């Protein structure tokens, strides 16, 4: 089998699609593109697709990942184009690499998020960020399938900052842009949990819901707080070309072996 890893996006109104909605759309795209999928065994076979750490419904994303298994080898870029054309605009397949390493899910250690707070002054956002980061713990509540749960939203935050400027910041009304790096863990701390923490520590309450977009996810550099591309190890693990076979029509010296003895009497 060949394994292909894909990076896809959720943009515009498609950010409101649930993970289950995306699964259905993607399986239709696989059939439409006639991808030679491997299927599971049993009474209800399903295509072998592994989804990794999907973004919450309502958030945009530039860095969603999945892996598919094929029964026949395909060129990753050609496959990407076919799948991208078979999905609706907003669900865009932007990268495809052949899986040459293991543990993609293990490399998704942290996410970079952008939070756009319309109606919030940047100075007010910077003050709230400082209060949040100064707190030792920030307890927030979230409703789960098992009821309300209280947990610390501060511990998972690696970096949080209010950007000084943004090209798309409107000029006629206040708008604060936050950049958040959050470590993945259990329970998962989501951007809305951090917003709840900002409300608890600094009474920051945007007048309209925040527009949230995941910009990246991958390996976390603890020292710098940066997140690196999880597909890079697959790109770098390209098999080395086999050594050139020795040619029988060349003298041994020209093949890299011991030099031939020079004839007696030669200078």
Judged by DSSP in three states, 215 sits in strand
104 and 38 Cβ atoms separated by less than 8 Å: no
Q: Which backbone phi and psi does 185 adopt, to 5 degrees? A: -170, -170
CA distance 100 to 208: 44
| pLDDT per residue rounded down to tens, the chain (267 residues) | 899 999 999 999 999 999 999 999 999 999 999 999 999 988 889 999 999 999 999 999 999 999 999 999 999 999 999 999 999 999 999 999 999 999 999 999 999 999 999 999 999 999 999 999 999 999 999 888 788 889 999 999 999 999 976 565 666 789 999 999 999 998 899 999 999 999 999 999 999 999 999 999 999 998 888 999 999 999 998 776 556 554 445 454 444 444 444 444 444
Contacts of 210 (CB under 8 A, 6+ apart): 115, 116, 117, 191, 192, 195
Residue with tokens 């052949």: 98
Which domains does the chain show, CATH number per domain?
A: 2-100 (3.30.70.580), 107-228 (3.30.70)
Q: Is the dihedral of CA 74, 76, 78, 83 positive or negative?
A: positive
Q: What pTM was estimated for this model as a whole?
A: 0.85
Q: Cα Rg for the chain, rounded, in angstroms?
A: 26
Contacts of 250 (CB under 8 A, 6+ apart): none
Greatest Cα pair distance, the chain, in angstroms, is: 97
């Amino acid at each position: 089998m060949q394994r292909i890893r894909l990076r896809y996006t959720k943009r515009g109104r498609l950010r409101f699609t649930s993970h289950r909605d995306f699964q259905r759309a993607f399986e239709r795209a696989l059939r439409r593109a006639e991808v030679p999928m491997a299927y599971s065994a049993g009474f209800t076979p399903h295509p072998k697709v592994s989804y990794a750490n999907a973004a919450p419904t309502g958030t945009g994303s530039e860095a969603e990942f999945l892996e598919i298994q094929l029964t026949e080898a395909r060129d990753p870029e050609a496959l990407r184009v076919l799948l991208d054309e078979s999905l609706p605009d907003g669900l865009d397949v932007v990268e495809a690499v052949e899986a040459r390493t293991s543990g993609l899910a293990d490399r998704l250690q942290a996410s970079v998020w952008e939070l756009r707070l319309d109606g919030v002054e940047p100075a007010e956002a910077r003050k709230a960020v400082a209060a949040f980061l100064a707190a030792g713990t920030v307890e927030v509540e979230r409703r789960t399938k098992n009821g309300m749960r209280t947990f610390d939203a501060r511990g998972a935050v690696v970096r949080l900052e209010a950007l000084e400027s943004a090209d798309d910041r409107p000029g006629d009304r206040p708008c604060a842009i936050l950049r958040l790096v959050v470590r993945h863990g259990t329970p998962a701390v989501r951007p809305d949990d951090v917003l709840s923490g900002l409300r608890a520590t600094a009474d920051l309450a945007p007048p309209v819901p925040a527009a949230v977009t995941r910009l990246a996810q991958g390996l976390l550099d603890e020292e710098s707080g940066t997140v690196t591309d999880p597909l890079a190890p697959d790109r770098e693990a390209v098999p080395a070309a086999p050594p050139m076979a020795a040619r029988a029509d060349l003298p041994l010296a020209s093949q890299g072996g011991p030099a031939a003895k020079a004839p007696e009497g030669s200078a």
